Amino acid sequence: DIQMTQSPSSLSAFVGDRVIITCQASQDITNSLSWYQEKPGKAPKLLIYDSSTLHSGVPSRFSGRGSGTEFTFTISSLQPDDVGTYYCQQYENVPTFGGGTKVQ
Amino acid sequence: QVQLQESGPGVVKPSQTLSLTCTVSGGSINSGYPYWSWIRHRPGEGLEWIGYIYYSGATHYNPTLRGRVLISLDTSKNQFSLNLGSVSAADTAIYYCARSKDALNPTIFDPWGQGTMVSVSS
């Protein structure tokens, strides 16, 4: 299995802050990476796929970049509704997820 | 807009079979989005992909669970189901169903159901 190492595991930030999450793959996954937001009791949401493509309807303050083994996810200006846990996921092989980053 | 909803028992006894159903509304399970997955989130762990079923009935499972998993499709009810056998406490989790974002990649997941909690306990 391809292991996905995500950091930090949690962070606290203020409204308007720039938030950056990193994800490292144990082997080259080209750009086969997506990012999801999970909130308790709600359906997880796809935010970004193919490393940097913003999913339809997702606010432009969310962005992603990277290829190979190193990836970053950025919220340019944190909003109250962005509180939740974020996961990276690779789909180059049998899909695996990072451990998650709790944003509060 | 397609919506998915999981249903099933909240508690399953050890060694028994966990059975869940995902009901698809707002679109046909036979549409151009052919891959339907199950994913789980165990307490204190990350998300884990369990497997998917193609609209034709072909399946692909996570090797870590292969042998215990069966995913099936009921197009007449617009549903697909998960059976996980010989469960233990390690199978306690929130179980999500999800559709593939499009026909090109089976494991970019959108949308998801809101999940159902299943506890394995005697």
A89: phi then psi, degrees, rounded to nearest 5: -150, 130
pLDDT band at B102 (very low <50, low <70, confident <90, very high): confident
pLDDT tens across B51-67, in order? 999 988 899 999 999 78
Report how far residue B6's alpha carbon sits from residue B43's, in angstroms, rounded to the nearest whole number: 18
The answer to whether the bond into A95 is cis (omega within 30° of 0) is no
Q: Cβ separation of A100 and B110 shorter than 8 Å?
A: no
pLDDT band at B117 (very low <50, low <70, confident <90, very high): very high
Amino acid at A13: A
pLDDT band at B1 (very low <50, low <70, confident <90, very high): confident
Q: Cβ separation of B49 and A96 shorter than 8 Å?
A: yes
Give the pLDDT of residue B84.
97
Sequence-ordered list of residues with C-beta below 8 angstroms from that of A88, at least 6 positions apart, any chain? A4, A6, A21, A23, A33, A34, A35, A71, A73, A97, A98
List chain B residues with CB under 8 Å of A64. Answer: none
Are B72 and B93 a contacting pair, CB within 8 Å?
A: no
Report how far residue A40's alpha carbon sits from residue A43's, in angstroms, rounded to the nearest whole number: 8
Give the pLDDT of residue A64.
98
Give the pLDDT of residue B30.
81
Asked if the C-beta of B111 comes within 8 angstroms of chain A's C-beta atoms, the answer is yes
Report how far residue B9's alpha carbon sits from residue B118's, in angstroms, rounded to the nearest whole number: 7
B67: nearest Cα among B52, B82, B84, B91: B84
Give the pLDDT of residue B34.
81
> Minimum mean pLDDT among A86-90, B26-30, B86-90: which range?
B26-30
pLDDT tens across A16-71, in order? 999 999 999 999 999 999 999 999 889 999 999 999 999 999 999 999 999 999 99
List chain A residues with CB under 8 Å of B47. Answer: 36, 38, 87, 89, 97, 100
For B3, the closest chain A residue by CA position comes to A43
Q: Cβ separation of A89 and B47 shorter than 8 Å?
A: yes
Asked if the C-beta of B36 comes within 8 angstroms of chain A's C-beta atoms, the answer is no
Q: Cβ separation of A44 and B96 shorter than 8 Å?
A: yes
Q: B interface mutation test: which of A48, A89, A90 has the most B CBs within 10 A?
A: A89
Give the pLDDT of residue B63.
94
Give the pLDDT of residue A90.
98
Report how far residue B44's alpha carbon sits from residue A44's, in angstroms, rounded to the nearest whole number: 17
pLDDT at B91 over 80: yes
Kindly report the average pLDDT of chain B as a whole number: 94
pLDDT at B19 over 80: yes
Distance in Å, alpha carbon of A66 to nearest chain B alpha carbon: 17
Q: Cβ separation of B48 and A94 shorter than 8 Å?
A: no
